[in-house]
Amino acid sequence: MKVTLRKIGNSEGVILPKDVLERHNLKAGDQLVLIEDGDDLKLRRLEDDPEAFEKKMKIARERMKKYETAYRVLAK
């Protein structure tokens, strides 16, 4: 789906189509988290404090790296 960055006041933003908002049960005022994944950008509904989410992801990445061998064996 193609969207365009638009000037909104002193910032720039993306207007999400109505059908996408309805499908994901989003409305004006809902907060989303922007996640940078390499060259990709992802939006996710804010369910937690964003800093808490980032801390959880950091811990998860550390555990995955530390126990990579065990996870690979368990995945078989």
- Per residue in 2-32, pLDDT (tens digit) is 899 999 999 999 999 999 999 999 999 888 9
Instruction: For domain 5-75, say whether CATH 3.30.70 is its number.
Output: no
CA of 5: how far to CAs of 2, 13, 14, 16, 66, in Å?
10, 5, 5, 10, 40
Mean of pLDDT values over 38-67: 86
The residue ranges of every structural domain in the chain are: 5-75
Please choose, from the candidates 41, 25, 22, the residue with its C-alpha nearest in 3D space to the C-alpha of residue 33: 41
